[in-house]
Amino acid sequence: MRQQKRRVGIRATAYLFSFVVILYVVVFMNTPYIVYQPGSASEVAPMIKVENADPQEQGTFMMTTVSASYANVALLISSLFNSNSEVVLKETRLQDKTEQEYAAEQVFYMNSSQSYAVQAAYHAAGIPYEDVVDYLYVFSVPEAASQGQFKPGDKIISVEGQQAADPEGLSKLLSVHAIGDTVNVVLERGGKEMKEQVKLVGVKNPETSALRPGFGVVIGAVQKVEPKEAGKGVSFVDTKVGGPSAGLMFTMEIYNRLTPGDLTRGHRVAGTGTIDAEGKVGPIGGVKHKIVAADRKGAEIFFVPKDNYAEAKAKADQIGTKMKLVSVSTLSDALKYMEELPEVKS
C-alpha cells in the first residue's frame, strides 16, 4: 500500500513537472520570431491640441497601426490559423539593435513625424513658423561605462545647469571638461526627472579621429515647431505608439483645425504614410495589416502612399472591403480629394 502511494506521488510529481515545462515552453520561452497582425485604427483628434481650433468636424481622421509581438510558441501556433498574421525573424526587424534601442528609435520617429506634420500643416495653411530643437534624445548606449546612467529613450534636459541646444551644443558644453571628469546631468526617463553624475568617456571626433570628452551615447535632436502667428500653437498628447507612419493623418487633422470648415465632410477617413515639411507623402511598412485594421473600424476611405498602393489593393481585394483606396504622393493630393467629396448629410 505504501509503495502504491509512493508510485502515485512520483507519478503526480512527474505530471506536475511535465506541465510546468510545457507551460514554460509554450507561454514563456522566447523564440527568434515576431508576429505581425492588424493593429488599431484610432481617431487622431484626441491626440492633438490646436489653439483656437475650428470646431467643425462631423467625420473623423484615423491613424492605423500594426501589432508586432515578440512571439512565444503559443502565438506561433495560433498564427498558423490566422490569415492576417505574418511571421518574420526578429533580426529582420531589429537588425543590429536591441529591443530597447529599437523601441527608443520608434519613439523618436513618432516625435519627428509629429513635428513634420505640424510643419506641413502650417505650410499648407499659410502660417509662418520656425523650427527649434526641443530636446536631445538618447538612441543607444554603446559605451559600457555609460550604461548604468543612460538608457535608450532618455531625454537630456541639461548639463551642469545648461540646456544643450543641439548635438553640437552638447559637444561644446562638454569640451571645457576633460575625459574622466564628472558632470551633473538632468535626464527625463519615463516622464520622471532624474539627476545623474556622469563620468565623461573618450569619444572619437569624426573629423580628426582624436578623442574628446563625451557621454558615450548615440543622440538625436527632437524638433519643436513654433508658429510666428499668436494663437496657432499645436501640441500632442502621448500616442503610446511609435514609428513615422501616422504623419499624413496627423497633418490632415491639424490642417482641418487650422482652417475654416470641415475637411472630413462627415466621412470616416483612415490612412497611413510619412510626411515631410513640404507635404511629400512617403511609403511605410505593414500596409496590408493597416488595411484590415481600417476596415474593421468602418473606414470609408483609406489614403495610401503611391508606392504602397499595389500591396494595399491586393489585401483590400482579398478581404472584400468596401473602402475606397486613394493613392497619394503629396498632402495636396489628399486635401484635393477631400475637398471634392460630397458632404454627408446627417
Neighbouring C-beta atoms of residue 11, cutoff 10 Å:
10
Q: Are 262 and 269 in contact (CB under 8 A)?
A: no
pLDDT value, residue 99: 87
Is 251 in contact with 114 (CB distance < 8 Å)? no
Exposed (0-12), middle (13-18) or buried (19+): which is 116, by Cβ within 10 Å? buried
- Identify the helix (H) or strand (E) that includes residue 224: strand 218-227
Backbone dihedral angles phi then psi of residue 306, each to the nearest 5 degrees:
-50, -40
25: pLDDT strictly greater than 50: no
Q: What does the pLDDT read at residue 145?
A: 65
Gap between the Cα atoms of 126 and 163, Å rounded: 32
Q: How many CA atoms lie within 13 A of 303 on its CB side?
A: 34
The stretch 4-31 carries a mean pLDDT of 57
pTM of the model: 0.85
Q: What does the alpha-carbon distance between residue 107 and residue 242 come to, in Å, rounded to a whole number?
A: 5
* CATH domain 133-222 topology: Pdz3 Domain (2.30.42)
User: For residue 24, what pLDDT is reported?
Assistant: 47
Q: What H or E segment, with its residue span, contains residue 203?
A: strand 201-204
Q: What was the pLDDT predicted at 227?
A: 95
Mean pLDDT of the chain: 88
- Please give the pLDDT value at position 222: 86
The CA distance from 305 to 316, in Å, is: 15
Residues assigned a catalytic role: 245, 290
As a whole-number percent, the residues of the chain with pLDDT over 70 amount to 91
- Check residue 39 and report its DSSP letter: E
* 58-72, 155-169, 247-261, range with the lowest pLDDT: 155-169
Q: What is the mean pLDDT of residues 176-193?
A: 91
Tens-place pLDDT, residues 210-251: 888 999 898 988 888 999 999 999 999 877 788 899 999 999
Q: For 303-312, what is each residue's pLDDT tens digit?
A: 999 999 999 9
CATH architecture of the domain covering 33-125+230-339: 2-Layer Sandwich (3.30)
Would you list the domain boundaries of the chain?
1-30, 33-125+230-339, 133-222
Answer yes or no: is pLDDT of 161 > 50: yes
Q: CA-to-CA distance for 295 and 72, rounded, in angstroms?
A: 28
Winning range, highest mean pLDDT, from 69-83, 136-150, 177-191: 177-191
3-state secondary structure 228-295: CCCCCCEEECCCCCCCCCCHHHHHHHHHHHHCCCCCCCCCEEEECCEECCCCEEECCCCHHHHHHHHH
Mean pLDDT across 41-51:
95
Provide the pLDDT for residue 337.
Answer: 97
Most confident of 15-24, 85-94, 277-286: 277-286
Per mean pLDDT, which of 105-119, 240-254, 268-282 is the most reliable? Answer: 268-282
- Whether residue 132 is predicted with pLDDT greater than 50 in this model: the reply is yes
Q: Closest Cα to residue 257, out of 117, 114, 54?
A: 54
Please give the angle made by the CA atoms of 309, 321 and 294, to the nearest 5 degrees: 70
The whole-number pLDDT of residue 166 equals 82
Which range in 15-29, 49-63, 98-112, 281-295 is most confidently predicted, on average pLDDT?
281-295
The rounded distance, in Å, linking the Cα atoms of 77 and 85 is: 11
| CA angle (46 as vertex; 43, 52 as ends), nearest 5 | 125
The pLDDT, as a whole number, for residue 307 is: 97
Distances (CA, A) of 151 to 112, 189, 298: 20, 8, 40
Closest by CA position to 246, among listed 109, 37, 63:
63
> DSSP states of 123-176 as a string?
HHHT--EEEEEEEEEEEE---GGGTTT--TT-EEEEETTB--SSHHHHHHHHHT
Q: What is the pLDDT of residue 57?
A: 87
pLDDT higher than threshold 60 for residue 21? no
* pLDDT confidence of residue 15: 57
Angle between helices 309-319 and 287-296 (to 10 degrees): 40
Model confidence over 254-263: pLDDT tens digits? Answer: 999 999 999 9
